Amino acid sequence: MAKVAELSPKAKEVLEVLTNSDTALTLADIKELVDGVNSSHLTALKNRGLVNADKIEKEVVTVAKRTVNIYAVTPTPEVE
């Protein structure tokens, strides 16, 4: 039987946050509560059967960069 690696301290911290939470949390919610969390911590918990993951649809505000024009008055040469 293959040896299962021990959970990282961060994964254990995430599990504690989820255990103490009254509701299910998204990764974004967890990132607000625990610094340095990423999806691999949740994947490790899911692969060990400690948490479950369900797909939901959530509205989020996004920021996108766009190329736009910027306008300024062209200086005119002074006429004497």
Confidence of residue 77 (pLDDT cuts 50, 70, 90): confident
Q: For residue 79, is it within any domain?
A: no
Is the distance from CB of 27 to CB of 42 less than 8 angstroms? yes
Q: For residue 14, is it within any domain?
A: yes
Q: For residue 26, is it within any domain?
A: yes
How many structural domains does the chain have?
1
pLDDT confidence of residue 60? 86
Q: For residue 78, is it within any domain?
A: no
Q: For residue 70, is it within any domain?
A: no
CA gap 33, 18 in Å, rounded: 10
Residue 32's domain spans which residues?
Answer: 9-47
Over the stretch 22-76, which tens digit does the pLDDT of each residue have? 999 999 999 999 999 999 999 999 999 999 999 999 898 999 999 989 888 888 8
CA gap 20, 22 in Å, rounded: 7
CA gap 78, 80 in Å, rounded: 7
Q: For residue 18, is it within any domain?
A: yes
Confidence of residue 1 (pLDDT cuts 50, 70, 90): low
List Cα–Cα distances, 49 to 33, 60, 70, in angstroms. Answer: 22, 28, 54
